[in-house]
Amino acid sequence: MREYRPPSEPFLTVVYVDDALLVLDKPSGLLTVPGRDPAHNDSLASRAQQRYPDALIVHRLDMDTSGLVVMARGKEMHRQLSILFQNRQVEKSYLARVWGEPDGEAGEVDLPLICDWPNRPKQMVDFAVGKPSLTQWQKLSSDGNSCLLELTPVTGRSHQLRVHMQALGHPILGDPFYAHPAALAAAPRLLLHAAMLSFTHPASGERMLFESAPDALFGKER
């Protein structure tokens, strides 16, 4: 188990707020919700609730993943936003810098996933009992050693993007669970960032679009 050392700055980055919801930009290294260990109490949710006591988590990002997270304000908004996520009515895309360069300009990974129980929280491909999992990818740029991809998870399995990129033969740089030693050493953190979220506001009916730029470690798109 790695020592939990969440970043203290910025304490909380609010991208958008109204009476119904919050959109936050989570840094890498911060849990989305508190862990069971008291040493893991600090999280995006607990920080948000200090300022917005009615804030409730709707979905999560891995601790090592940075980027956009939506929180509901109050139980009714939590119910409505949860339905949007469950019904895949939320558009999401991620940026990832991966080892090497996939063939072609775009493609998809369609491999069923299930928890690797002896090694949890790791996940693994399992064609017998795994849950259907689909990821679409598009190449944005390459520096010859690594490639910047836009990833779109059609399904929302735990660690889906990380396992699918490993299975493709191009693990995400800095991934402590799935990268081989060279890919792990190639970045000081997991280079996976939730860059875009779009959904219909459950209260106003307005189409919302939120974007977040990754840090300089990801490099340029073109």
Cα gap 218→213, rounded to integer Å:
10
Q: Which of 25, 37, 54, 62 is catalytic?
A: 62
With vertex at residue 149, the alpha carbon angle to CA 100 and CA 188, rounded to the nearest 5 degrees, is 65
Cα gap 84→166, rounded to integer Å:
29
CB 73 within 8 A of CB 54: yes
Annotated catalytic residue 25: no
Nearest to 137 by CA among 124, 123, 153: 153
User: 20-53 burial, b if ≥16 CB within 10 A, otherwise e?
Assistant: bbbbbbbbbbbbbeeeeeeeeebbbbebbeeebe
**Cβ-based neighbours of 104, under 8 Å, separated by 6 or more:** 139
DSSP character string of 63-76: TT-EEEEEEEESHH
Residues with a catalytic annotation lie at: 62
